Amino acid sequence: MNMGGIHTGGRHSVPLKKPGDSITLVPFGDVHFGDRMFSNSTWRDFVDRYKNRKDVLFLGMGDYTDLMSSSERKAFAKASLDGFHDQSIEFIVDKFRRQVDEFSEAIGFMEGRLLGLVEGNHRLEGDWDGSRRVISSTEYLCELLGCDYCGCETIRTLNFSAGRMRTSFQIAAHHGAGGGTSKGGSLQRVVRWGQDTFPGVDIYLMGHNHDLAVTGMNGMTLAGNGKLRDKKQWYARTGSFVKTREDGQANYNVDAARGSNILGNIEFTLTLKRDTSKGGRGLYVDSSPALKS
Ligand SMILES: [Fe+2]
């Protein structure tokens, strides 16, 4: 599956007033805005839940609109060479552009609080803004929203501060791979990717298979004084906003006898706390997940 193969890193500063203050991290993905099976009600609940909150940071996990999958992109490129009229190609691309513009407006309330957008497999490369640059639909969305383009895999470092005290917190996000057909298999793929590639990170996120689930473990570390220090690590699948079946509507998930997932998103409350293992002078970020459906 082609997701562009780009890894990125980025830093964001999160100034808070004092220990005890918190922010909410909201990964959202596999929206498939514009799909026949897009769940308007789940999306409306999502927007209502967060649009007026200033203490939220968002991270897009890919597959924002129902643009072409990897195999469809190949077929489309071939059709372009095989004699589709330019006008027909333009007609199709224009429809997609409207869908991307519409989605950009739908998440406009996130502007300034969006850590970035991860690339998915549903996307299209093209000249989106008439500037003759060929960029992906996700890069175009990032330009519209003024946020970082994350590629399909990213490490986001949040630098928290309260007065002169500082600490950091890391999130690893990948649009998603494999998944397995069982719930355990779905999360196991996240754990394997996380531990094999970036073992010290605090939260690991994958989307793509539309599962909404989380598991955690205590990835203990050693404090400066050589003593054990607890370190929560969370591994999550970030959910979706698209149904797998509806009465009388044809869908490939029905052919494949694929189960339906709970729709919605996951959020993490990140709370700044005093690190007493360092004599009460340091800070750390405590984290706690909740599924929203
Ligand atoms: Fe996907």
At 20-56, the pLDDT tens digits run 999 999 999 999 998 989 999 999 999 999 999 999 9
Measure the CA–CA gap between 198 and 175, rounded to whole angstroms: 16
Give residue 238's domain range: 7-292
User: Does any domain span residue 1?
Assistant: no
Residue 126 CA to chain centroid, in angstroms?
Answer: 22
User: Does any domain span residue 105?
Assistant: yes
**Cα–ligand 1 centroid distance for 181 (angstroms):** 15
On average, the pLDDT of the chain sits at 90
User: The dihedral of CA 46, 241, 61, 214: what is its sign?
Assistant: positive
Listed in sequence order, the residues at least 6 apart from 260 whose beta carbon sits closer than 8 Å to its beta carbon are 243, 244, 245, 253
What's this model's pTM, rounded to 2 decimal places? 0.93
Measure the CA–CA gap between 197 and 207, rounded to whole angstroms: 17
177 membership: H or E segment, kind and range: none
Number of domains in the chain: 1
Give pLDDT, residue 156.
98
Give pLDDT, residue 74.
72
Identify the residue with better confidence: 68 or 218.
218
CA distances from 204 to 77, 182, 189, 217 (A): 34, 19, 11, 12
pLDDT of residue 236 exceeding 70: yes
**Cα–ligand 1 centroid distance for 152 (angstroms):** 10
Give pLDDT, residue 233.
98
Give pLDDT, residue 81.
67
Measure the CA–CA gap between 245 and 37, rounded to whole angstroms: 7
pLDDT digits (tens, 9 = 90+) for 103-119: 999 999 999 999 999 99
Q: Say which CATH number the domain at 101 has.
A: 3.60.21
**Cα–ligand 1 centroid distance for 205 (angstroms):** 13
* Mean pLDDT confidence for 234-251: 93
User: Does any domain span residue 193?
Assistant: yes
**Cα–ligand 1 centroid distance for 142 (angstroms):** 18
pLDDT digits (tens, 9 = 90+) for 119-133: 999 888 888 888 888
User: Does any domain span residue 253?
Assistant: yes
User: Does any domain span residue 233?
Assistant: yes
| φ, ψ for residue 218, nearest 5 deg | -100, 100
* Mean pLDDT confidence for 91-98: 83
Question: Rounded to the nearest 10 degrees, how much is the dihedral formed by the CA atoms of 120, 103, 101, 63?
Answer: 10
User: Does any domain span residue 2?
Assistant: no
pLDDT band at 204 (very low <50, low <70, confident <90, very high): very high
**Cα–ligand 1 centroid distance for 197 (angstroms):** 21
- pLDDT > 90: percent of the chain: 64
Measure the CA–CA gap between 288 and 244, rounded to whole angstroms: 29
**Cα–ligand 1 centroid distance for 25 (angstroms):** 21
**Cα–ligand 1 centroid distance for 47 (angstroms):** 21
* Of the candidates 260, 190, 241, the residue with the CA atom closest to the CA atom of residue 28: 241
- DSSP for residue 124: -
pLDDT of residue 279 exceeding 60: no
Helices and strands in the chain, H and E counts: 6, 15
* Mean pLDDT confidence for 182-201: 92
pLDDT of residue 280 exceeding 60: no
